[in-house]
Amino acid sequence: MNPQIEKVVRVTSVVATAVVSYFLLTADYGPEPNVLDPIRQRILSAQDSVKEFIFPSKKSDK
């Protein structure tokens, strides 16, 4: 197999495994506080930063 394709498949499988593991771990806890909250907060913070970068709010212009 092509080395570039192997690398893409490997990286994709690692990312998919991490995402599935996160969902399986959080499915048991629901909305209760747990050990994964800091990770969730960082993901939401990064998401908000990207949204603010792409769609700047009107209040930051003042």
Indicate whether 10 belongs to any domain: no
- Would residue 3 count as lying in a domain? no
SS3 at position 23: helix
User: Does 4 map to a domain?
Assistant: no
Alpha-helix residue ranges (DSSP H) falling in 1-62: 3-29, 37-54
CA distance 10 to 26: 24
pLDDT (tens digit per residue) in 2-50: 889 999 999 999 999 988 888 887 776 667 777 778 888 898 898 899 8
Full residue range of the structural domain in which residue 48 is found: 21-29+36-56
* Residue 51: predicted pLDDT: 87
